[in-house]
Structure 1
Amino acid sequence: MLQILFPNRCLKCNRIIHSEEVVCDLCFDQIHFTHDHFADNNLLKEKCTLLFPTENAVALMQFEDENLSRKIVHQLKYGNREKIGKILAKWTLEKTDLNILNPDLFVTVPLHPKKLKKRGYNQLHLYTETLSEELKIPFDHTLIQRNFYKKAQAKRSIKEREETQNLFSSTKEVSGKHILLIDDVFTTGNTISSVAWELLKYPNNKISVLMIATD
C-alpha cells in the first residue's frame, strides 16, 4: 500500500521505479563512475599515498557539485535510505575486483555515538556487510572508535577538517593484517588518514582504501 501511495522515484528524473532501485535505467548512464581499478595508479591512490602508506585505493563514483552521484550519497547519509548501501555494494562488485587485493578484513570509518543515535544507522554498515557476504571477507565495525563529536565534513571549514589528531582510536590490537578501509566520500583525506595511521601503528599491517565517492 505504501508503495502505491508513495512510490519510489528516480533521483534524477522522478520516474517511478522499483522499490529496490535508486535511479531508473535511463538515468543510470548519467552517474559519474570513476572506472578506477585496484591494479591501476589512479588519482585517489596518488592522493592517499601522499598521506599514508597505501597498498591500493579506489572510488566507485565522482562526487561533484549537482551531479547524480552526490544526490545518491546524500540520500544514503541524510535521507534515511540505508538500503541504498546495498545498491552501491552491488555496483562496486560489478565495477571493481576487490578479490585482486586479497584483504583480510573490512574496516569502516565510525560515526560518533551521538551522530549514530541521531541518524539511526551508519551509512557504511549495510554497504560493507553486503560486500562481506558476497566476497566471504570478514568486517569489523567496532575496531575503530570516534573520540570526538564533530560536524559533517561537508559543513566544516578547511581549518576544522585539519584538526583530526586523536579523532580516532582502536578498540583492540590488530596486527599482520591487510585492512581495506571503507568510507563514503574522500575530500581532504584527513579522516581516512587518521584512521589509517591508527591501524598502521600495529606491526605488519597494510592499508588499502575503498571510497563510495571522491570529489
Structure 2
Amino acid sequence: MILDVLFPNRCIHCNRIIDGNLLVCSLCFEQIHFTHFGYHSENNLKEKCKLLFPVENAFSLMQFEKENLSRKIIHELKYKSRENAGKVLAEWLIDSLEFKEKPDLLVSVPLHPKKLKERGYNQLHLFTESLSKFYKIPFSHDLIKRNHYSKAQALKDKQHRLETLNTFSITRPISNQHILLIDDVFTTGNTLATVAWEILKAGQNKISVLVMAMDE
C-alpha cells in the first residue's frame, strides 16, 4: 500500500524499518528483559502476589525496569494508540507459557468507561482475546466493573499508587472457577489485589495472575 511506502513501520527502539506487524527489529528484540519464569513454579511475581491475596500461579512476560525496552513497549501500547501491540505481546507470551492445567476463564482488568472513551480501546483486550483463541480458554471483559475514574498509574507518585483509589465490583455471580486475572504491569499489586479479592469474595473461586511486565 502507498501508506506503507510513505510511512513504513519502524522499530520503536532503533527506528529501523520493520514488518508492519512487528514492534521491534530482531536486534532490539534481543535487548528485551524477559523473565523466563515458569507459570507453575515459584517466582518473584508469585511471592509478591502471595503477600496480597491467595494465588495459585503467576507469570510475567517481561521485567519493567527503568528506561528499558519493555517500559517503552508498554508505553506504546497504552498511550500511543498501538493497540496491535497487545497481539504481538500475546504471540511472545505464547512461546513462553505452558499450562499444565488451564484456568476456566481469562479476565482482564477493566478501564473506567470514561478512560475507555478517552483512549479508544483497552490495552488488555486484544492481548486477552489472542490468548483465548490460542489456548481455547473463554474470556470476559465485563465480569469486573471499575466504579471510579482516576488518572493513569504512570502519572501517580508511588505513595498514591499504594492507596486504593479505584474500587471494583463483580457484574454477575461467579463461583467455583479458576480465574486467570490479566493486567499490563505489576507495580505495587494494589489494583490486582483489589480485583482479586472481589472475585474471591464472590464464591469458591481461585485466582492466578498474568501480567505483561513486572516492576522490580
CA-atom RMSD, angstroms?
1.1
Structure 2 unaligned residues grouped into runs of 5+:
none
The one-letter code of the counterpart of 1:25 is S
Q: Tell me what 1:20 maps to.
A: 21
Q: Tell me what 1:33 maps to.
A: 34
Question: Does the Cα contact within 8 Å between 2:11 and 2:25 map onto a contact in 1?
Answer: yes
Specify the SS of the correspondent of 1:95.
Answer: coil
Runs of 4+ in 1 over 3 A off after TM superposition: none
The aligned runs of 1:70-81 (5 Å cut-off) are 70-81=71-82
Question: Does the Cα contact within 8 Å between 2:150 and 2:166 map onto a contact in 1?
Answer: no
**In structure 2, distance between residues paired with 1:142 and 1:61:** 26
The one-letter code of the counterpart of 2:94 is L
**In structure 1, distance between residues paired with 2:96 and 2:55:** 21
Specify the SS of the correspondent of 2:202.
Answer: coil
1:50 is the counterpart of 2:58? no
What's the offset of the Cα at 1:81? 0.6
Aligned positions, number? 214
Specify the SS of the correspondent of 2:160.
Answer: helix
The aligned runs of 1:115-130 (5 Å cut-off) are 115-130=115-130
Question: Does the Cα contact within 8 Å between 2:150 and 2:165 map onto a contact in 1?
Answer: no
Question: Does the Cα contact within 8 Å between 1:38 and 1:100 map onto a contact in 2?
Answer: no
What's the offset of the Cα at 1:118? 0.5
**In structure 2, distance between residues paired with 1:203 and 1:74:** 35
TM-score (norm 2): 0.96
Q: Tell me what 1:163 maps to.
A: 163
Question: Does the Cα contact within 8 Å between 1:165 and 1:194 map onto a contact in 2?
Answer: no
The aligned runs of 1:49-68 (5 Å cut-off) are 49-68=50-69
Q: Deviations over 1:159-212 (max 9, x none)?
A: 322332661111111100000000000000000000000000022100000000
The one-letter code of the counterpart of 2:214 is T
1:11 is the counterpart of 2:12? yes
**In structure 1, distance between residues paired with 2:78 and 2:125:** 11
Question: Does the Cα contact within 8 Å between 1:182 and 1:209 map onto a contact in 2?
Answer: yes
What's the offset of the Cα at 1:50? 0.4
TM-score (norm 1): 0.97
In structure 2, do the counterparts of structure 1 residues 3 and 166 end up closer, same or farther at CA, with 3 Å as the change threshold? closer
